[in-house]
Structure 1
Amino acid sequence: MLVAFSVAPSTSDDEGGVAPAVADAIRLVRESGLPHRTDAMFTTIEGEWDECMSLVKACVDAVAKHGPRVSLVLKADIRAGRTGELDAKLTRLEDALNEG
């Protein structure tokens, strides 16, 4: 499965930034060993249901240390028996664009 998620404290430091809290979550993603990609809006991870959801929970818990309230946005693409979709979906898209 692919899980795209965004997690951040609902309140931020005095300058309005959430980067330190988000960095704590992304550090966990990088240490997890799961295939992942982070962009300006979401982090996408690939793995089995339990390992993905466990990692999302750990990220929420890490961000919760920075404030009393956490915002989580999550979208999942669940396709049993598929692996490598983090890159394969983009390859299929590029192929379709090149055909057109």
Structure 2
Amino acid sequence: MLIAFSVAPSGTGRADGSVHDAVAAAVKVVRDSGLPSRTSSMFTELEGSWDEVFDVVKRATEAVEPFGSRISLVIKADIRPGYEGEIEAKVQRLERAIDEIEE
């Protein structure tokens, strides 16, 4: 299973509205999990079994709790039983398809 998720607090009381400290706490949970992951400016992708990835999402969400009065959590999942390594393989297939278009 691949998931992309974003978790952030609101009601932080910061004048600039920044949530980077909270997001850093969440991403640390993801990285410490040892599951394959990738973080971009908007989402973190994570790969593992249903139980593994949702345990990490829960713990990442809990890590954000101290930073605000509310939490926003967005999750998108790609559930494809029997496949592993798709966090890299999907991107590799996409790049090959782009190369074929350019030829």
Is the pair's TM-score, using the shorter chain for normalization, greater than 0.5? Answer: yes
Question: Mapping of 1:84-95 within 5 angstroms?
Answer: 84-95=85-96
Give the residue type in structure 1 aligned to 2:45.
T
Alpha-carbon separation, structure 2, partners of 1:44 and 1:3: 6
Structure 1 residues not aligned, in runs of 5+: none
TM (norm. structure 1) is 0.96
Q: Which moved more, 1:60-69 or 1:35-44?
A: 60-69
Give the residue type in structure 1 aligned to 2:24.
A
- How many residue pairs get aligned? The number is 100
Give the corresponding residue for 2:5: 5
Give the residue type in structure 1 aligned to 2:44.
T
Alpha-carbon separation, structure 2, partners of 1:29 and 1:72: 15
TM (norm. structure 2) is 0.93
Alpha-carbon separation, structure 1, partners of 2:3 and 2:55: 12
Structure 2 residues not aligned, in runs of 5+: none
Question: Mapping of 1:61-72 within 5 angstroms?
Answer: 61-72=62-73
Give the corresponding residue for 1:52: 53
Percent pairwise identity: 55
Q: What's the CA shift for 1:65? A: 1.4
Question: Mapping of 1:13-52 within 5 angstroms?
Answer: 13-52=14-53
RMSD: 0.8
